[in-house]
Amino acid sequence: MTKHTLFSRFSRSAPELFHSGGDQSALPGGSDLRRRLALMEDFENTGLGWFWATDEQGHLTYLSRNAAEQLGAGDADLMGQKLTSLFTLDPDGDLDEVQRPLAFLLSARQSIANLPVRVATQSHEVWWRVSGKPVLNAAGVFQGYRGSANDITALRKTQIDASRLAQYDALTGLSNRHRMTRRLTATLNAYRTAKRSCALMMLDLDRFKQVNDTLGHPAGDELLKQVAQRLETIIGNKGEIGRPGGDEFQIMLPDIDDRGTLGDLGSRVIQMISQPYSIDGSRAIIGTSVGIAIAPYDGLETEELVSAADLALYAAKGGGRGQFRFYSSELKDGANLRRQIEEDLRDALASDTIDLHYQPLVRTANHTASGFEALMRWNHPERGWISPAQFIPVAEDTGIIRELGEWALMRGCRDAAAWPGDLRVAINVSAVQFAADDLPRIVERALKTSGLAPDRLELEITESIFLGDPHATRIMFRDLKAIGVRLALDDFGTGYSSLGYLKNAPFDKIKIDQSFVRGATEEDNNNAAIITAIVSLAEALDMETVAEGVEALDELSLVTNLGASHVQGFVFASALCQAEVLSRLEEGRLTYEPRGPAKHRADRRTLYRKVGIIHEDHRYEGMIRNLSRTGAMIEGILDVPTGTQLVLDMGEGQLAVSTVRRSNGAAQGLEFETPLVNDGAGGLCTRHRISPYALAAAGMPLAALPSGHYPLNSSGAGSAQSGRPKFLQIELSSLSHSPR
């Protein structure tokens, strides 16, 4: 016999018990009834469950003493209260749906079966499971409810914990992939109706695998926790952060579509994540790349927006890492190109389409070459020359870099052995190669096979090698120096520098990164002071210095006066193939004459890109020649007076309001009303874009707009041709052959 059956039978036999507060003396005679009552009291006293009863209006007429005590009141204090007043909604909101039916069931006089409810207590959270049935008298008139309840708080906590585990990442406490997808979908659906925007950032960690491999998975887990904490500090209440898995993170940012703000936030994320971490006494340095997409411009659905942000992240990593990138429709072509590069790269060595070219390292004292740096060049049979900036990151991501690196050592040593005298060859060694135990054996084999003297081989190593196991790094340095090769620290000062590294590492040369050379001759630029400090440091440590990327004569003069021992850059020569190097050496031409512009000029973005030029209600086709943050030089329409207001349609919803400040025939110099912002790819973009919602309101169906593509052409929205053109349109074909 179950407790529910017992209680039902008992309640039918002695309904007056519930109205008398449980006084046995009020019961009519009968030992069987007394035994049942004693059994009920014993059951209540165990705390396994209790009983309750209401009148026909839902007011309590009985509640077990244990239940009343859990509510923090005496049973007499509770009599006459509404049963529903004992319970409240879940403040977290996730479980409200299981509490709402109680009032409905009571009002409908239906049976209640195992219904979870949250008890209204102030001290701690309590959950009951409630059951009950309506009681009718002999005439069928409703008399109230009789029921039972038991405590399921522990079970409910387990359910809530399980629900949380299903929605949150157990390691970092951030939202997991499931929750982020659900939240993003709900947000986009709601925002589509409200015509609001929502940005999505995707990021993953550069060199995280190296930390995992060298310091162990517990260190990797601790690193992920610290990254999550930094992201929460940066983002605060501006958005929601998730960890879909691995070293990937997502950031949802509602109501932000200003690409200037998003770019600044992306830069701050990169800067903060790239700061050193302390993990169990070890120092770890990683980096990150960020992809940014914005709804509704880059997608209306969750899958579209995530795919757009992922493509932007892919492009940021392909562009050299440590960058942010906004999504654009061009990135799909770039992603396809990267996949094609990955496929073709595997066959490039076998097909002999990758080669080494050599750029001279020139002494500043007498402009003679002391050696050459080997630089990889890939002449693709269909695509022509592919930049190392494109294929080296792909090689690193796919692991092909080890095979390429070994090939470069073999080929570079073989080529250098044919050079006369003591000219050295400098060959780049990636962090992946440096971490491999067999690097010393590969170096020895390259030297033995080629016959090159060890002191004529210089291995260029970037500072990222110091992110690995310090003990293993010291052993590798020891083994390489034991062979007799020279070591150079490449790209010094680009993010991982530590004087402790230089104190302990046996470098023979420091290469000053070209980012410090560029702009060093300009006023109010601190790069010259940085170069001076690096040169002084190198001299104190008895190391040579190479200033990289020198292109102008004033830059050459500056780095020479600052004490750099060597220069590398176009001011002396570009990289030459082996045949050209041999030809020059055979002629004895080891001295290089500097050639180049007298002064360094800041980079100018010279474009030959079609744009729309909108004046009043007419649209013209034009060409951008030069573009800066504050203005542009355009061609396409004749004799436009200064002061004329024009709008440039730069594509993908980018409209730049501008004023003509200079005008000469078909060329106009424009000043933008709002400066452009960095697009993360070395280019410029508008802060805001015209919303697809605005285009839809003007008659262009929202669903017909491909993500990231909003042409304002003569047949599209926002381009009514109601007026006569005030300026003469010039054929673009006549402009395309007159670059300036």
The per-residue pLDDT for range 386-395, each reduced to its tens digit, is: 888 778 878 8
Compute the distance between CA of residue 131 and CA of residue 115 in angstroms, rounded to an integer.
Answer: 7
Beta strands in 255-366 (DSSP E): 277-279, 282-284, 287-295, 324-326, 354-363
* pLDDT at residue 653 greater than cutoff 80: yes
Q: pLDDT tens-digit profile of 146-164?
A: 999 888 888 887 776 666 6
The domain boundary, picked from 586, 621, 639, lies at 586
Predicted local distance difference test score (pLDDT) of residue 294: 95
Residues 610-651 have pLDDT tens digits of 888 988 888 898 999 888 889 999 999 999 999 999 999 888
Residue 248 belongs to a domain with what CATH number? Answer: 3.30.70.270
Beta strands in 193-260 (DSSP E): 198-206, 240-245, 248-254
- The predicted pLDDT at position 553 comes to 94
* Residue at 634 is within a domain: yes
One domain, residues 727 and 649: yes
For the chain, how many structural domains are there in total? 4
Domain shared by 7 and 46, yes or no: yes
Q: Are residues 20 and 152 in the same domain?
A: yes
CB distance 597 to 552 below 8 Å: yes
Mean pLDDT of 275-288: 87
> Are 403 and 349 within 8 A, CB to CB?
yes
Lowest-pLDDT range of 98-107, 140-149, 562-571: 98-107
Query: Measured between alpha carbons, how far is residue 266 from residues 269, 323, 326, 563, 680 in Å?
Result: 5, 8, 10, 37, 9
Report pLDDT for 227.
96
pTM: 0.60
Is residue 536 assigned to a domain?
A: no
Are 512 and 489 contacting, i.e. CB atoms less than 8 angstroms apart? Answer: no
26-74 tens-digit pLDDT: 455 567 777 777 777 777 777 678 888 999 988 989 888 878 877 777 6
HEC per residue, 560-580: HHCCCCEEECCCCCCCEEHHH
Alpha-carbon distance of 533 to 539, in angstroms, equals 10
Q: Is residue 543 part of a domain?
A: no
Q: Is the pLDDT of residue 307 over 80?
A: yes
Please report how many Cα atoms fall inside a 13 Å half-sphere around the Cα of residue 105, on the Cβ side: 20
Is pLDDT at 25 greater than 60 in this prediction? no
pLDDT of 676 > 50? The answer is: yes
Domain of 116, in residue numbers: 3-159
CB atoms within 10 A of CB 587: 8
Does 549 map to a domain? no
151 and 172 share a domain? no
Residues 340-376: pLDDT tens digits? 888 888 888 778 889 999 999 999 999 999 999 999 9
Residue entry with tokens 């589509």: 192
The CB-side HSE value for 227 (13 A sphere, CA atoms) comes to: 31
Q: What is the pLDDT of residues 529-538, one digit of tens each?
A: 999 999 999 9
- Residues 475 and 356 placed together within one structural domain of the fold: yes
Cβ(484)–Cβ(506) under 8 Å?
no
Comparing CA positions, the residue from 130, 133, 224, 121 lying closest to residue 174 is: 224
Nearest CA to 293 out of 270, 316, 276 is that of 316
- For the stretch 236-247, pLDDT in tens is 999 999 999 899
The whole-number pLDDT of residue 96 equals 40
Share of the chain above pLDDT 90, in %: 42
Q: What is the pLDDT of residue 643?
A: 94
Pairing of strands 457-462, 486-492: parallel
Question: Are 285 and 419 members of one domain?
Answer: no
Mean pLDDT rounded to a whole number for the chain? 83
Domain finish residue from 329, 364, 394: 329
The candidate with the shortest Cα–Cα distance to 273, out of 282, 265, 262, 261, is 265
Nearest to 673 by CA among 657, 689, 684: 657
Going by pLDDT thresholds of 50, 70 and 90, the confidence category of residue 500 is low
Domain edge (last residue) among 159, 194, 210: 159
pLDDT band at 717 (very low <50, low <70, confident <90, very high): very low
CA atoms of 559 and 568, how far apart (whole Å): 11
Residue 554 covered by a domain: no
d(CA 199, CA 260): 13
Residue with tokens 């509770």: 78
Half-sphere exposure of 587 (CA within 13 A, CB side): 8
